[in-house]
Amino acid sequence: MTSTYDALVIGSGTAGQAAAYELNRNGLSVGLVEHGQQPGGTCALSGCQAKKWFYEGAETVARSRHLTDLGITVPALGSWSQLKEAKNRFTAKVPTNTVNGLKKAGIDFIPGHARFVDPKTISVDGRRIATRFTILATGAAPMKLPIDGAQLMVSSSDFLELDRLPRKIVFVGGGFISFEFAHFAARLGSEEIRCTILEAGPRPLGPFDGEMVELLSDASAKAGIAIHNDVNITSIGQTGSSFTVRTEDGRRFDSDLVVHGAGREPEITDLALDRADVQSSRRGITVNEKMETTSPGIFAAGDCAATVQLARVADAEAQTAAANIVSSCKDNGYETFMDYTAVPAVLFTYPQYGMVGATEDTLKDDGIDYEKSAGKELGWPTYRRVGMKSAAFKVMIGRTDRRILGAHILSDNATGLINTFTLAMHNRIPANELHRQSVMTPYPSRESDIIYMLKPLL
């Protein structure tokens, strides 16, 4: 027997749920397929939401250490096991809440593995489902690495399930996962934790601004995190409970744990995309700005698409795809497009690194005429009060139109600060107007410091 839906969503993570609810809200019959044993997606279960429980603890410890000369006589101590228990109390409810929420809304939850039969038919564990539209939101998984002994690495999900932190940890790859988790570990162990990040390229955190990455790397080193660049790993070996990472140039790094932090790849290999004429690359499923794939009626959103792997980007892409499907059903001619010009990103390290827009290197490479305001080791009262000596910023604007081209901030509140610059970019607000609007902010606050960042650009 064949079931029929207006739209079928494959994947129950943040993109899948956002798409399903939007389609359902507009009156379409919707089914959502999930093959995992725990519906809810990586973000909630073992990614951005789950890790934040550990970040809050690590931030508190780091802040208290900075305040030892400012009136806090006993620094906070972190308990990894208790933070894990708190995290688990949250994540344990995610699968049930996900399924119940979908069912309550009238969305059919369909457990099983989805594979295309043709562009309009999908098989879920042998059950055929006909659909007018499909949204692929299957997410990503740890990238397979051509390293002898790669199976000895633990994933980021595994890391968050550790009962205790080992004394020596090696992180393979110098991206989001490695930096954030190294900052957690360096502050949450019952004893001193030695963290080492091994990056294959000339510098870590490739998408971020090079100068700001250097400043963050310096702050990381002061927290006890060693960073090695241009490291070509050839093998990972195990002797008893110890591990050895060997490199092409003969170096070895001994550890009690090796963590895979070298990126994630789209989880699309089992979908039989060729049967639906859906094209993809190593980066993910090929989509246009309407989130349409190369096959009419099939869309993709989130980490499985060849776009940007960030949770809120996934939500925006899912809503864009859903809006275009609804428009097609209503035949109203309305089209919705994604705009990646002002996509904010934040590293939950300490200090946090928030960015939006272009890096200075990109502006130089593209020959764009710009002006810059920058500062490091900021001595503003907001940072002196909390003992933070690594706060920094860089703001770039167009020389002619005076609009924000890129903003980069190291701060204990980079998340809040970068949102202000994101809104300014979205609304095409020039620097002088943003400065004027920022004068009347609560004072003193991190946000009230924005006027100091922009003053040299007036």
Which residues participate in the annotated binding site for NAD(+)?
173-180, 199, 263
Which tokens go with 451? 């006027």
User: How big is the CA angle at 265 (ends 286 and 182), to the nearest 5 degrees?
Assistant: 140
CB-based contacts of 365, cutoff 8 Å, min separation 6 = none
Torsion of CA 402, 404, 408, 414, to 10 degrees: 120
Render the burial of 54-87: b for 16+ CB within 10 Å, e for the rest: bbebbbbbbbbebbeeeeeeeeeebebeebbeeb
Binding residues for FAD: 52, 303
Q: Which amino acid is at 15?
A: A
Q: Are strands 168-172 and 194-198 parallel, antiparallel or unpaired?
A: parallel
H-run or E-run covering 63: helix 48-66
User: How big is the CA angle at 152 (ends 40 and 155), to the nearest 5 degrees?
Assistant: 20
Q: How far apart are the first and last CA of the chain?
A: 68
Other CB atoms within a 10 A radius of the CB of residue 98 amount to 23
Binding residues: 52, 173-180, 199, 263, 303
Angstrom distance (rounded) from CA 292 to CA 146: 32
